[in-house]
Structure 1
Amino acid sequence: MVCSLAIALVLSSPNLAKAESREQAVDRLTDILFYRVNPQLNNRKLQAGDREYSNQWRRLREAIDPRVKSVQEVCFRPAPGDTGWEFTVINGETYEQTYDILADTIFYSRHPQRTGQQIPKSDRIGISEWSAIRREMYISNCGL
C-alpha cells in the first residue's frame, strides 16, 4: 500500500514529470490559440481533409514559433528551478501588436486572396471576423 502511494506521488509530481520540449511547447501554444479561434472544431484532431484548417494551424505555428523562449529568458525574477517555455514578444513589439499579428495570421490564412490588403472600413463582415479572432488571442505569460 505504501509503495503504491509513493509511486502515485512520484508520477504526479510536476518536478519529476518529463519536461516539455520547446517544440512541444510551440505545438501546445499553437493548439490553444487555434482551437480558441475555431471553437466549432470542439478540440478534435485535424484530419487529412481539413486542408484549410491545417494551413491555418501551420501558419499560426510559424508565427508563434519565434515567440517561444525559455522561462529564464522571458520571466522577470524566475524561481531558481523554473524551467520550461513561455510565449513572449519579439523585435520590440508590444503584446498588443503581437496579438494583432497573430489575428492577422488567422484572418489572412482564411482569406488568402486578401493577403497584403488592409480590411476596408466599409467591410463590416471582415472587421467583425477579425475582431472576433483578436478577442480570442491571449496566452498568459510567466504565470500571470
Structure 2
Amino acid sequence: MLVKSLSIKSLSRFLMVCSLAIALILGGPNLAKAESREETVDRLTDFLFYKVNPELNNRKLQAGDRDYILEWQRIRAAIDPRVKPAQEVCNSPGPGDIGWEFTAINGETYEQTYDRLADIIFYSRHPQRARQPISRGDKARSNEWLAIRREMYISNCGL
C-alpha cells in the first residue's frame, strides 16, 4: 500500500511539472508579445542602466537619486527611437510576431549605437566636460568610458 501511494504521489508531481512546463512554453511567447512599446523601452533602459550601475543592485531609484534619475532619463531618450516593431527589424519574424525590438537607426552600426549610448552615460556623469573628447593621456576617464562601453549589449530578434 505504501509503495502504491509513493508512486502515485511521484506520478502526480511529474504530471504537475510537465503541465507547468507546457504552459510556460506555450504561454511564454504570448506573454512577451503583450508588452507595449513603452514597457519595452523602459525594460531595455532599466537593463542597460543597471548593467552600468551595478552598485545599485537593481534597487528602485528614489527622489534623492537625482544624478541616477537624469542618467536613466538620458539613456531612455536614446533608446526610445531605437525600439521598432519586430516585423520591421527582424529578417524573419515569426508568424504574428508583434513584439518590439532594439535596433540601430540612421545608418549607424550596432557598434556605433553602443558607442553613442556609452557617450550619453559618460557625459551624463561628467556634465562639466560638455562633450569634450577624452584626451589620450587621461587614462582614468578612458578606462571609465571603456568600462561603460563593455556593458553595452542588447540582444534582438531572439539572439
Structure 1 length-normalised TM: 0.90
Measured after TM superposition, the shift of residue 16 of structure 1 is 4.6
| Root-mean-square deviation over aligned CA pairs | 1.9
Residue of structure 2 in register with 1:69 after alignment: 84
Measured after TM superposition, the shift of residue 115 of structure 1 is 2.3
Q: Distance in 2 between matches of 1:123 and 1:109?
A: 18
Q: What amino acid maps onto 1:119 in structure 2?
A: I
Secondary structure at the aligned position of 1:69 is classed as strand
Secondary structure at the aligned position of 1:80 is classed as coil
Measured after TM superposition, the shift of residue 118 of structure 1 is 0.3
The structure with the larger Rg is 2
How many residue pairs are counted as aligned between the two chains? 139
Measured after TM superposition, the shift of residue 83 of structure 1 is 1.8
Ranges in structure 2 where 5+ consecutive residues have no aligned partner:
1-18
Ranges in structure 1 where 5+ consecutive residues have no aligned partner:
none
Q: What amino acid maps onto 1:14 in structure 2?
A: G
Residue of structure 2 in register with 1:14 after alignment: 28
Higher relative contact order (CA 8 A, sep 6+): 1
Q: What amino acid maps onto 2:127 in structure 1?
A: P
* Structure with the higher helix share, 1 or 2: 2
1:142 aligns with 2:148: no
Residue of structure 1 in register with 2:148 after alignment: 133
Secondary structure at the aligned position of 2:101 is classed as strand
Structure 2 length-normalised TM: 0.82
Percent identity reads: 68
5 Å-filtered alignment, 1:1-144, equals 9=23, 13-17=27-31, 19-144=34-159
